[in-house]
Amino acid sequence: METPCYVYDIPRLQSTLEGAQLKLKNPNSSIQYAVETNYNVEVLKKIAELGYGANCANSEEARRALKAGFSMDKIALTSEDKNDEEIYFTIERGVKTIHCGDLDEAYTINRIAKSIDKRINVVLRLNLTTAPNLKPEYAQSLFSNVEFEEFSNVQSELNYLNINGIHFHVDYHSIDVDVLESVCQYFNYAIRSYRMHFETLTYIGLGGVHGLSFQQSESIPIHEFDQYFEIIESNLKHHDVKLYFEFGEALVNSCGRLFTKVLDVKTEKEMECAVIDAGLISPNMSNIGRNIEFVGIAFKKSYKAYDVVNVPTEPSNQFRTHALLPSLKPGDLLSINNCGANAESLQFKFEF
């Protein structure tokens, strides 16, 4: 077997996708998939087939989404560091929405839209960076990327932009009722402020890390979506404005399995490390309790605890710490579950 090899359980993916949709009881809400999480074509096709939207960080992700079958009106360009080519591609191809992080970017989007005589829907992106009423680990600083008043004062100059909504990007790493309720109060404050300066509000997006479990059991998917949706719907005063929930890891992580070979076994800080040939993984997906199995017949009865890593000196590239495995040697094949998110896609990014 050529490794690293990523295998996706499409029926399992479909079960998770359908489960999330079933928990979304508000018919005036929808789910956007964060394409950067995994843009394997078969994974994207299944997500598009079930009617999801696609949030794309760049034009290449938008091309992949279009090729996989996502409809044009369900695609948004969402990154904070878009270049002119990506903005041009988005507008020229008729993609529905661009997220905008500051006034300078708004002028750039307007200039490019004017050059091809096409108006574009623009959603103002707000990063939640301060929340003094939240628990200490969540306290950072309030919305800073967009000043509504600045935008409203120059709307006449941005005549190719249809500013029609706001997108909140905030990380909450556990579903804690008190934390999410406090986050919603900031959302409500921002929505009131937005309405004071803009006439149109048809889009409210919620993105980031939602605290949903990245892990799922081998037999039954864990759907925490119902609790998350219930808290948001109960506390967010959106007045029937459509909500767009952005999910990535929670949708695809459990459907992926990685087959990888051991390149080396070494000792680092008195711990045995099995260095594997897999690509990089996202730091927030590091060591999340993946089940790692030895593929083959293990005759040795003695098991050892290994840190299974891509780069032994880089903690963010730990697939699992203290994994109990038979004594390993270079060339041994391992199977790792919960590798559907931020694994193969990062490998693509670093292969030139």
Q: Dihedral sign for Cα 243, 247, 251, 252, please.
A: positive
Mean pLDDT is lowest, of 43-57, 131-145, 147-161, 276-290, for 131-145
- The ranges assigned to domains in the chain are 10-253, 254-349
The CATH class given to the 10-253 domain equals alpha beta
Across the range 342-351, mean pLDDT stands at: 64
Q: Is the pLDDT of residue 284 over 60?
A: no
CA angle 213, 216, 222 (to 5 degrees): 70
Asked if 273 and 310 count as a contact pair (C-beta separation under 8 A), the reply is: no
Task: Note the pLDDT tens digit of each residue in 46-81.
Answer: 999 999 999 999 999 999 999 999 999 999 999 878
Q: Are 238 and 191 in contact (CB under 8 A)?
A: yes
Q: What's the 3-state SS for the chain? A: CCCCEEEECHHHHHHHHHHHHHHCCCCCEEEEEEHHHCCCHHHHHHHHHCCCEEEECCHHHHHHHHHHCCCHHHEEECCCCCCHHHHHHHHHCCCCEEEECCHHHHHHHHHHHHHCCCCEEEEEEEECECCCCCCHHHCCECCCCCCHHHHHHCCCCCCCEEEEEEEEECCCCCCCHHHHHHHHHHHHHHHHHHHHHCCCCCEEEEECCCCCCCCCCCCCCCCCHHHHHHHHHHHCCCCCCCEEEEECHHHHHHHEEEEEEEEEEEEECCEEEEEECCCCCCHHHCCCCCCEEEECCCCCCCEEEEEEECCCCCHHHEEEEEEEEECCCCCCEEEECCCCCCCHHHHHHCCC
Of all residues in the chain, the percent with pLDDT exceeding 90 is: 45
Q: Do domains 10-253 and 254-349 have the same CATH topology?
A: no
Regarding predicted confidence, which is higher, 185 or 204?
204
Mean pLDDT of the chain, nearest integer: 83
Does the pLDDT of residue 134 top 70, yes or no? no
pLDDT at 130: 42
Give the pLDDT of residue 47: 98
> Across residues 220-247, what is the average pLDDT?
82
pLDDT band at 281 (very low <50, low <70, confident <90, very high): low
Task: Label residue 224 by pLDDT band (50, 70, 90).
Answer: confident
pLDDT at 312: 62
Query: Which candidate, 242, 279, 245, places its Cα nearest to that of 263?
Result: 279
Fold topology of 254-349? Lyase, Ornithine Decarboxylase; Chain A, domain 1 (2.40.37)
Which of 6-10, 22-26, 175-179 ranks highest by mean pLDDT?
A: 6-10
